Amino acid sequence: MTTRIKEIFQTGQPDQSVTVQGWVRTKRELKEFTFLEVNDGSSLANLQVILEPTLPDYENVLKTISTGTAIAVSGNLVPSPGKGQNIELKAAEITLYGDCPADYPLQKKRHSFEFLRTIAHLRARTNTLGAVMRVRNACATAIHTFFQEKGFIWVHTPIITANDCEGAGELFTVTSLDLKKPANFAEDFFGKRAYLTVSGQLQAEVMAMALSNVYTFGPTFRAENSNTSRHLAEFWMVEPEMAFCDLEGDQDLAEAFLKYIFKFVLENCPEDLQFFNERIDKTVLSTAENIVNSEFGRITYSEAIELLEKADRQFEFPVEWGVDLQSEHERYLAEELFKKPVIVTNYPKTIKAFYMRLDDSNKTVSAMDILAPKIGEIIGGSQREERLDVLIQRMQEQGMNPDDLWWYLELRRYGSVPHAGFGLGFERLVQFMTGMTNIRDVIPFPRTPLSADF
Amino acid sequence: MTTRIKEIFQTGQPDQSVTVQGWVRTKRELKEFTFLEVNDGSSLANLQVILEPTLPDYENVLKTISTGTAIAVSGNLVPSPGKGQNIELKAAEITLYGDCPADYPLQKKRHSFEFLRTIAHLRARTNTLGAVMRVRNACATAIHTFFQEKGFIWVHTPIITANDCEGAGELFTVTSLDLKKPANFAEDFFGKRAYLTVSGQLQAEVMAMALSNVYTFGPTFRAENSNTSRHLAEFWMVEPEMAFCDLEGDQDLAEAFLKYIFKFVLENCPEDLQFFNERIDKTVLSTAENIVNSEFGRITYSEAIELLEKADRQFEFPVEWGVDLQSEHERYLAEELFKKPVIVTNYPKTIKAFYMRLDDSNKTVSAMDILAPKIGEIIGGSQREERLDVLIQRMQEQGMNPDDLWWYLELRRYGSVPHAGFGLGFERLVQFMTGMTNIRDVIPFPRTPLSADF
C-alpha cells in the first residue's frame, strides 16, 4: 500500500512504516549516507529520503539513481533534524522502476518558461508547473462545488456548431472533407459549414429556460492570429446562466463566485500559493485576500467615464462617453481608484453584443464587466434581451440575420423570462491566482499560432 | 426571495409564505378555482398552484396563462388533499413574465423522442429530457467527487491536436484556411494539419508521469459516418490515468468508480430514476442496484472464449481464440452467464491498441473491458506499455512511425513507470443509468451526420 507524499507531511508519524513512489528530484551523496529528494506530484515539497550504506546493494542503487529516476521506497519515517520539513524517510528497500539518462532535460537548475514550453511533456515535473496544475485543479473543483451547492446544473453545450454568429472572434472550421479541392460544405459531414464554438452562452440560455440555473464549463476557441502572452486558440470558459435573474442578481452571483473560488484555493493549496507569492509574484496572496475580503465596487459606465475624465493623468487612449474602456482605464479604476475589484455596468449599446438587454435610456445595455487589480477584466456578463421585438431589432442593427438564430428567438416567444449570466475565462483566472504572466504556462498543452505540439 | 420547487417538496411547511418562479405545464379550470402545474426544472414533480377567484384580476390572469407561460407565484403553502404531493401553493399574487402562444410545440401530450430532437431548444422542458439533464449532471458530479476525494488532478487535455495516430476512429480536420482552393496546411493556423482529438489518453499519460494520478473529462470526436442510435460525432469521455498502477489496480479503480457513480445517482436523483424505471425501462433500478451490490466478475479473454465455446447456443459471429468479442458475446457473458458486470482481461495483441502492455506470453496485452448487463462494454482500459523498446516495436508492427510520438516515447526514456488507465464514454453511462435507448437523447445538442443544429 502506497502513501502519497502530501499525506506523509500532513499525518505521518515517526516510526510509521510507509512506501512512497515517485521521481527523484535530486541526489546528494555524503560520506556517511545519501539524501534523495523524491516527489510524486501530490505536493510541492519533496520528501527527503535517507539511504545508508547498510541498505542492500547500496553502491549499485546509488549508481542507478539520478535526477528523474522513478523509484519506490519503503522504510520508516523519522523526525527531520533539518529545517523546513518535520519528517523524512529512512529507506529500508528501494525498487527501481525507470532510470533516467544524463540527457534528461530537467537537470537541477533554473529553466526559462520558454524552454519548458518546448518540453511540455516533461514540464509538469517542475515545481512551478506542478503547482500550476494543482492550483488549476483546485480552481476547477471550486467552480463545480460552488454551482452544485447552489443547485445549478452543469450542461455540456456543443463544441461543434453551425452558428457563425455566436459572438465576437475568428472561427475555426471543422470538416471531414479531404480538402484536396475547394470545399463544398453541402457535402461535408454536417451538410453545411461547421465551426468550433466561441461560447456556450446561447445554448446555455436554452437550458436555463428549462432548468432555471445552469452553467457550462468547457473548451472554447478563437482563430485569432494573436501571438501574445494573453491569447490562446483553445481555452476553457465558465458560463453560468440564470433564469428569473436581472443585472443586479448577476453581479451578486459573480461577486460571490469569485470570492468562493479564491477562498477555496487559499484553503486548499496554501503551499502552492505561498510558492507563487515567493517566486513568481509577491502580490499573489494579498491580491487573493483582497478579493475574498473586499466588497466589490459597483459603478455604471457613465460614472466610470466621469471618474476617468477627472483623473490626474494623461491616458494613451482618450476618454469620452461612448468609447470602450482600455486596459489602462480598467487598471486605473481597479488598482488606483478603488484598490479592489469594481463592477462596471450599463455600457453603450454600440460597443456590446446583440443579446444584451437594452436599457430604458435606449443608449446603454445591461452589461457588466468585473475589473480586478493587476489583471483587468476578469468576468464579463449581462442581463439578456428577453423581448422578442427588441432582440430582432438589435440583431438587424448589427447586420445579423435573425433567421439564423430562429431557435434562440423562440426562447423569447414561448415563456420568455428575464435572465442573465456571465463568462469567466478559466486560464485568466488561473493566471490571476498564480501570478503567472504568460497564459501558455497555465494550461497543460497550449494551442497558439503555429503551435499544436504534443 | 425565490424558493426552488425541489426545496418546497423537501422542506416546505404549511402556512409558509413562498415565491416560486417557473413555467406552467398545465392549467385546469374548474368552476370554483383553477389549478396550475408549475415546473422550474429543479425537480421532476410540478408544484400544484391553486388560483381562487378572489385573486386580484382573476379573469384576466386566467386568460393570459396557458401551457408554457412563465410566471412568478407568491402565496402560502397548504397541505395537499390530493395523492402524490404533500403540499401545494395557494396563490396570493401572480406575475406574468412571458406568455406562450397556442402554437407552442410542447402542448400536453406525448411527443416522440424523434420529434423532440427537432426542437432541442425546448425539449429540456419535458419530463423525460429534464430528468435526463439532472441525472447527467449528477453523473458528472459523481465523477468529479470520486476522483477529487482520491486526490486525482483534473487535467484539461487538448481538443485540437496535430497527432493523427492517437487511436482508432476517423478524424475531423480543424482549419482556419478559407477552403476556396485546395488546402495547403503549411499555411494553416498551426502550420500543419490539425484535428479534433479522439482521446486525451496520451496527454493524460504525460500528466500522470508528473502528478501520479490524473483524469480527463472532456469532449472527444469521431468523424464516422454512423447514423445509429449508439454513435455521436461529439461526445464526452472520462479517462483516469494512474502512475505506479498495474492491470489489477486498474480493475479495482474501475469497479469502485462505477459503484460510486451509481450509488451517488441513486441517492441524489431517486425521483428521476424512479421515473425512468416506470416510463422508460423497468430494469433501470435493478440494474443500478446490481452494479452497486455485485462484486464484478473477472476473467481473462481466453477464459471468456472457453465459456462462449461451451455456450448452448449458436452465435451469429463464430467464436475462436483471436477474434474480437461481439456485442452478442459480451451480452451473453454479462447478462446470462454472470448476471452482473464482468471484467475481461488480456486480449490478443492483434486486436488491441499499440500502447497496451505486452504480456509475457507475447500473445496478449494487459487490456481490460468491463461488460455490463444490457449495455455491453461500458469501460475499456489497459496497463500501458512502459518499456521503450517494446513500445517502439509494437508501433512498427502496426505501421506507425514512432517519430510522430517522440514525446510519448520520451516518457519511457526518462523515469518510466508502470501505469494504467481506462476510458468511459460519458453518454453511454447516462444511457445505462436512465435506460434511454438513443444516445441523441442523453446529450443536450447531439452532433450526428448531417445534423449540427442549434
CA B304/CA A231 separation, integer angstroms? 52
> What residues are paired with B448 via a beta bridge?
B451
What's the confidence (pLDDT) of residue B51? 96
For residue B376, the model assigns a pLDDT of 85
Cβ distance of A444 and B104 shorter than 8 Å: no
The owner of cell 537541477 is A108
Q: Which of A241, A202, A203, A282 is nearest to A424 (CA)?
A: A241
Kindly indicate the confidence band of residue A163, based on its pLDDT and cuts at 50, 70 and 90: confident
Residue B209 confidence class, pLDDT cut points 50, 70, 90:
very high
Q: Give the pLDDT confidence score for residue A74 in this predicted structure.
A: 97
pLDDT tens digit string along A282-312?
A: 999 999 999 999 999 999 999 999 999 999 9
pLDDT confidence tier of residue A168, bands split at 50, 70 and 90: low
Strand partners, A395: none
Nearest to B444 among A104, A170, A207 (CB): A207
Q: Report pLDDT digits (tens) over A184-202.
A: 999 999 999 999 999 999 9
Q: What proportions of chain B, in percent to the nearest 5, are helix, strand and coil?
A: 35, 25, 40
* pLDDT tens sequence across A354-374: 999 999 999 999 999 999 988
Contact A452 B158 (CB under 8 A): yes
Distance CA(B416)–CA(A100), nearest Å, equals 8
For residue B314, the distance in angstroms to the closest alpha carbon of chain A comes to: 38
3-class DSSP assignment, residue A250 = helix
- Residues of chain A in contact with residue B42, where contact means CB-CB under 8 angstroms, are 151, 211-212
Buried b (16+ CB within 10 A) or exposed e, A293-318: ebebbbbbbbebbebbeeeeeeeeee
Query: In this structure, what C-alpha cell is assigned to residue B239?
Result: 479517462
Q: What is the DSSP string of B291-354?
A: HHHSPPEEEEHHHHHHHHHT-SS--SS---TTSPPPHHHHHIIIIIIISS-EEEEEEEGGGS-T
d(CA B385, CA B246): 10
Do A148 and B141 make contact, defined as CB atoms within 8 angstroms? yes
8 A C-beta contact, residue A330 and residue A380 = no
Residue B28 backbone zone (phi > 0: left; psi -120 to 50: alpha; other: beta): beta
Instruction: Report the gap between the CA of A312 and the closest CA in chain B (Å).
Output: 43
* Lowest pLDDT segment from A250-264, A384-398, B159-173, B398-412: B159-173
Q: How far is A252 from chain B (nearest CA, A)?
A: 13
Q: Check the CA dihedral B125-B131-B134-B136 and report its sign.
A: negative
pLDDT band at B166; cut points 50, 70, 90: low
Please, are residues A444 and B215 in contact by the beta-carbon 8 Å criterion? no
Please answer whether residues A211 and A233 qualify as being in contact, where contact means their C-beta atoms are separated by less than 8 angstroms. Answer: no
Across B123-281, the runs of DSSP E, i.e. the strands, are 153-154, 160-161, 173-175, 194-196, 213-221, 234-243
pLDDT (average), residues B312-334? 94
- Which of A156, A164, A269, A439 would best serve as a mutation to test chain B binding (most B beta carbons within 10 A)? A156
Whether residue A85 is predicted with pLDDT greater than 80 in this model: the reply is no
Task: Select the residue of A141, A173, A444 nearest B175 (Cβ to Cβ).
Answer: A173
Does residue B448 carry a pLDDT above 70? yes
Give the residue-averaged pLDDT of A226-238.
95
Helix (H) or strand (E) holding B441: none
Q: Beta-strand (E) ranges in B351-392? A: 364-372, 376-383
Q: List chain B residues with CB under 8 Å of A21.
A: 212, 243-244, 417
Q: Which of A129, A192, A207 sits opposite B124 (nearest CB)?
A: A207
pTM score, whole prediction: 0.97
Do A179 and B175 lie within an 8 Å CB cutoff?
yes
The DSSP 8-state label assigned to residue A214 in this structure reads E
**CA A122, CA A402: separation in Å to the nearest integer?**
49
Scored b (16 or more CB within 10 A) or e, B227-248 reads eeeebbbbbbbbbbbbbbbebe
Chain B residue numbers with beta carbons less than 8 Å from the beta carbon of A100 are 413-415
Q: Is the pLDDT of residue B355 over 80?
A: yes
Comparing CB atoms, the residue among A100, A129, A172 nearest residue B415 is A100
| DSSP conformation class of A165 | -
Q: What ipTM does the predicted assembly reach?
A: 0.97
Each as own residue / partner, the long-range contacts of residues A107-116 (CB below 8 Å, 24 or more positions apart, any chain) are A107/A67, A108/A25, A108/A26, A108/A67, A113/A438, A113/A440, A113/A441, A116/A441
pLDDT band with cut points at 50, 70 and 90 for residue B164: confident
Nearest neighbour of B407 by CB, restricted to A106, A447, A454: A454
DSSP string, B28-67: EE-SS-EEEEEE-SS-SSPEEEEE-TTSTTHHHHHHH--T
Which of B27, B134, B211, B409 should be substituted to probe chain A, the one whose Cβ sees the most A Cβ atoms within 10 Å? B211
Cα–Cα dist A198/A70, whole Å: 41
Specify the pLDDT at position A411. Answer: 98
From the list A203, A418, A445, the residue facing B454 with the nearest CB is A203
Q: Is residue B167 very low, low, confident or very high in pLDDT (cuts 50, 70, 90)?
A: low
B284-293 vs B270-279: helix crossing angle, rounded to 10: 130
* Chain A neighbors of B125, CB-CB under 8 A: 209-210
Residue among B20, B117, B174 with most chain A CBs within 10 A, to mutate: B174
**SS3 for A31?**
coil
Furthest C-alpha separation in chain B: 84
Considering only CB atoms, which chain A residues are within 8 Å of B131?
none
To the nearest whole angstrom, how far is the Cα of B64 from the nearest Cα of chain A? 11
Residue B210 has a pLDDT of: 98
Find, in chain A, the residue whose alpha carbon is nearest to that of B156. Answer: A444
Q: How many angstroms separate the CA of residue B375 from the nearest CA in chain A?
A: 23
- Which residues of chain A does B443 touch, with a Cβ-Cβ cutoff of 8 Å? 156
Q: What pairs with residue B175 in β-bridges?
A: A173
> Residues of A with CB below 8 A from B232's CB?
none
Å from A218 to nearest chain B CA? Answer: 7
- Amino acid identity of residue B313, one-letter, is R
Q: Rounded to whole angstroms, what are the CA distances from B445 to A167, B121, B442?
A: 19, 9, 9
Residue A202: which of A20, A384, A435 has the closest Cα?
A384
- Closest CB from B176, B182, B452 relative to A190: B452
Q: pLDDT grade, residue A328 (50/70/90)? A: very high
The DSSP bridge partners found for residue B23 are: B39, B70
**Contact state of A162 with B122 under an 8 Å Cβ cutoff:** no
Q: B367 is written with which cell numbers? A: 487490456
Determine the Cα angle at B241 with ends A240 and B263, to 5°: 60
Q: Of all helices (H) and strands (E), which one includes residue B207?
A: helix B201-211
Is the pLDDT at A405 greater than 90, yes or no? yes
Tell me whether residues B412 and A40 touch, CB distance under 8 A.
Answer: no
Which band of pLDDT confidence, cut at 50, 70 and 90, is reported for residue B168?
low
Q: Are B412 and A98 in contact (CB < 8 Å)?
A: yes
**How many C-beta atoms surround the C-beta of residue A176 within 10 A?**
22
Cβ pair A124:B206 closer than 8 A: yes
Q: Which cell goes with B228?
A: 445509429
**Angstroms from A337 CA to nearest CA on chain B:** 34
> pLDDT value at position B82?
74
Instruction: Check residue A110 and give its pLDDT.
Output: 86
pLDDT, mean over chain A: 95
Q: Which helix (H) or strand (E) holds B225?
A: none
Task: Supply the pLDDT for residue B374.
Answer: 83
Least CB-CB distance to A2: which of B70, B172, B244? B244
Are residues A214 and A152 in contact, defined by beta-carbon separation less than 8 angstroms?
yes
Calpha distance A137→A130 (Å, rounded): 11
Give the pLDDT band (50/70/90) at residue A83.
confident
What single DSSP character describes residue A312? S
Cell of A300: 455604471
Average pLDDT over residues B374-403: 94
